[in-house]
Amino acid sequence: MEGKAKDSGSTASVLIGAAFLMATSAIGPGFLTQTAVFTDKLKAAFAFAIFISILIDIVVQMNIWRILGVSGKRAQDVANELLPGLGYFLAFLVAMGGLVFNIGNIAGAAMGLNVMLGVPLVPGAVVSAFLAVMLFLNKEMGKAMDMFTKVLGVMMIAMVLFMVFKTNPPVALALKETVLPSTVDWMTILTLVGGTVGGYITFAGAHRIIDAEITGMENLSKISLGSVKAITITGVMSYLLFLAILGVVASGAVLDPQNPPASAFLIGAGQIGYRIFGVILWSAAITSVVGASYTSVSFIRTLFVKVEQYSRYWIIGFICISTAIFATMGRPVALLILAGSLNGLILPVSLGVMLLAAYNKKIVGDAYNHPKILAALGWIMVLFTAWMGFKSLTGIAKLFS
């Protein structure tokens, strides 16, 4: 694919782009709502949940990036080498979860344009999808994707930082609660982990560096650093957004349960804040559309010759299908909850597969030795996320009954 790194400068650029691709894939419409809801619920104590989730995310991300990076193979191919057919199963889970979440991302982009400019939802969705399609029609698709996610990622962080100054949160209290929490909610922490490295998200950056051929033992230190940068970007955005909303709820304001993040921005900075939220929502959603579409197709491209040959057009088709379903479907909430349950299953399966692959010399080569502490922490995360996925599935029967 386009965007292969040939020197140290382009390698660094691709790694930063991969970090932003993963981070902006995690920072979607659901991320904004989730942060507002949990900040409203836990107040300053939510800082601890963010901090612990970042540490857990680093463990997950480093395991997956290192193993895939050293092997030079995408997750589905590694899975198929471990157990024939397992890669197809993993690809199906990721692609289905990615498609349903992409419908939510398209919806978020439409809502963002509606808040910014008053554009009706369906036309807003079509315009947003068109912009994403144009990105993948670019000859240098990889570089265009890297630049797009970098620019919008930095812009989102800058706008949320402005809101932090505007709402004047109790920063000292937040810092204290980061390390000495008054309340610890482990389900909130696990939910954050699922939202930032669950499903397709954790593979977005890893598959990008494989496409750019930044692989092998010689690039291992750069790959590890790139994985940490990806989570750091997500963590910075999450903490700043938390502070901006904390400034609102700490003042005694009540958020609108129908749209908590929008109401927080409106209360915090009036109509200017509301428009800023529209820009952030659109940016978060459209970059997540790019990440979900690219990564979901990357899971099936090596399994089918036609997909490999015409991968950019499959990505474009993925975007168009997501948009068409958004414009016509009747049960978006049910679909998004189903996708959440799928994502709850994907992470323990995919991470478990990667950890097994770490000790298969046919996959990672004779020279690579996976750190034992990283593997041990990874297996703990497999157990935790499997439990979370099981709990999330218990509501599916009620939802669709």
Whichever domain contains 307, its CATH number is 1.20.1740.10
124 inside domain: yes
> Looking at residue 5, what is its pLDDT?
52
205 inside domain: yes
> Looking at residue 94, what is its pLDDT?
87
198 inside domain: yes
- 211 near 1, Cβ under 8 Å? yes
Show the low-confidence residues of the chain (pLDDT under 70). 1-9, 330-344, 389, 391-401
Give the sign of the dihedral formed by CA 152, CA 154, CA 158, CA 160: positive
Spatial separation of the C-alpha atoms in residues 70 and 368, rounded to whole Å: 8
What tens digit of pLDDT does each residue of 96-143 get?
A: 888 888 988 998 899 999 999 999 989 999 999 999 999 999 988 888
| 15 CB-near residues (< 8 Å, 6+ apart) | 209, 214, 222, 223, 225, 226, 229
Spatial separation of the C-alpha atoms in residues 20 and 2, rounded to whole Å: 17
296 inside domain: yes
> Looking at residue 3, what is its pLDDT?
47
What tens digit of pLDDT does each residue of 8-40 get?
A: 667 888 889 999 999 998 888 888 988 999 999
Q: Per the confidence metrics, is the pTM higher than 0.95? A: no
344 inside domain: yes
> Looking at residue 279, what is its pLDDT?
96
272 inside domain: yes
- Domain of residue 12 covers 8-400
3 inside domain: no
> Looking at residue 337, what is its pLDDT?
52
> Looking at residue 376, what is its pLDDT?
96
HEC string of 135-166? HHHCCCHHHHHHHHHHHHHHHHHHHHHHHHHH
Amino acid identity of residue 201, one-letter, is: I
Domains identified in the chain, total number: 1
> Looking at residue 331, what is its pLDDT?
55
1 inside domain: no
Please state, in angstroms and as integers, the Cα–Cα distance from residue 269 to each residue in 37, 257, 318, following that order. 19, 18, 37
